[in-house]
A and B are shown apart, each in its own frame.
Chain A
């Protein structure tokens, strides 16, 4: 591998790492804004999403430039193809964090109250954040075992989502404000979708390392 290409790949990894960090922070803040009902934090997540979108654009262009100028083959090519998919997944995760932040704003505007069933959300969010962290790490280090572990974590998140919907459906009959419960279900669904995107990243890592497409979802 030429020195120029090696340096370019290192730069690409740095850019992806930065984007991953921003997404992790967005998820963390969006869930905190929901649980503490802090509109300013929700607003911050919405505003900062532009930075994530811009990074997606920047990385897309960078990869296109590398393909056009360095003509990568084999594993080098797989890395670039996977990077394009990963930035797309990260960008969608950022959007889902914005969706959660918008739920916070909606609840505040409509003066909806929080409810005890929402306590499952932070636990779910924590698991999802760990997944994001592991997903990015598995890409950076090329660790297939870590990538495979993500599939297991995703199953757990799916279970939590299912449990949340079940509990909410039970509780919804006795409440004066059913909108809150719908919104809660949405949030659980958004977190579950983030988990799916991380699983896609894990699939990309396995593709880079082995050249094989696997379905971890």
Chain B
């Protein structure tokens, strides 16, 4: 039985993931989330390095999605939810009530489990938010081409930009949602189980894409698939019942985890 209270155990990487990896883009300090009486996330302190991918793994209900949803203040909309502690983006505490959540979401993009394009054209899906911020027609066109190219969708859809996004396949829709999320050039990209509704080929494409996008963004991904975490992330955090059990460079966590609880989860002895 895994005890309910753990001390966070972290280890520093021996190798630098890339030249920017020492810059902390996002950080949580003693983050706690309560849904009414339920203490869903307990004292989580974590760094997220710029231009790296951090994966959250753990069994259902462990708090991994809850932590992710703190980063763009989506928990604000959940009745009875309360978030304490600090969430720092470049030293600004975004958990401060004075921070405008709408404005925050310009800097923190998010993609969900199921592709959720708007029932509009491919072009409009990407330009809807930029238009609200007053992007010119020329800027919009440039933005569409740029972001579709980044997600590898441009060649597939360039001749039907004004057709409905709902006509695209599931994998293409998900890539469109990523294109939409990065069109505003956020600093951080949150992916909440982005491939769980996709077939293996579309999944592989998204995984490749994540590797490319980290050159430009700091990525946090929640995944049920621990092999996926192993394949695409630089750091992995393992959660259990709201506690952060271990955070390590991915290659270390998957070859020699520090904690027995992590080892048990990874080897399927538990969870």
State whether B251 touches A68 (Cβ < 8 A).
yes
Name the contact of B211 in the complex, choosing from A3, A69, A71 (C-beta under 8 A). A3
Contact B211 A4 (CB under 8 A): yes
Q: Are A65 and B231 in contact (CB under 8 A)?
A: no
B251 contacts A70, C-beta separation under 8 Å: no
Q: Which residues of A contact B232 (CB under 8 A)?
A: 4
The secondary structure that dominates the B interface is helix
Whether the Cβ atoms of A2 and B251 lie closer than 8 Å is: no
Question: With A2-B204, A70-B231 as given contacts, are A65 and B211 in contact (CB-CB < 8 Å)?
Answer: no
Residues in A neighbouring B255, C-beta threshold 8 A: 61, 64-65, 68
Enumerate 12 A-B pairs (CB-CB under 8 Å) in ascending A order.
A2-B204, A2-B207, A2-B231, A4-B232, A65-B251, A68-B230, A68-B251, A68-B254, A69-B254, A70-B231, A71-B227, A71-B230
* Chain A interface SS verdict (over half): helix
Known: A68-B230, A69-B250. 19 other contacts (CB 8 A): A2-B204, A2-B207, A2-B208, A3-B208, A3-B211, A4-B231, A61-B255, A64-B255, A65-B251, A65-B254, A68-B251, A68-B254, A69-B230, A69-B231, A69-B251, A69-B254, A70-B230, A71-B230, A71-B231
Nearest-CB residue, chain B, relative to A5:
B231
CB neighbours (8 Å) of A65 from chain B are 251, 254-255
A203 to chain B, nearest CB (A): 27
A61 to B251, CA, bound (A): 10
B-to-A contact residues, CB < 8 Å: 204, 207-208, 211, 227, 230-232, 250-251, 254-255
> A93 to chain B: closest CB distance in Å?
27
Interchain nearest-CB distance for B13 vs A (Å): 12
The A46-105 residues at the B interface (CB cut-off 8 A) are: 61, 64-65, 68-71
- Cβ-closest chain B residue relative to A1: B204
Task: Report A132 CB to chain B, min CB distance, Å.
Answer: 30
CA distance A144 to B255 in the complex (A): 33
Chain A positions within 8 Å of B254 at CB level = 65, 68-69
In the complex, which residue of chain A has the Cβ closest to the Cβ of B211?
A4
CB distance from B258 to the nearest CB of A (A): 15
- Bound CA span A68–B263, Å: 13
The 4 closest A-B pairs by CB, nearest first: A68-B254, A69-B230, A65-B251, A68-B255
Nearest CB on A from B32, distance (A):
31
Q: Which of A2-25 contact B (CB under 8 A)?
A: 2-4
Chain A residues near B211 (CB, 8 Å)? Answer: 3-4
User: Please, how many angstroms separate the alpha-carbon atoms of A65 and B255 in the complex?
Assistant: 6
Interface centre among A64, A68, A71 (most CB of B within 10 A): A68
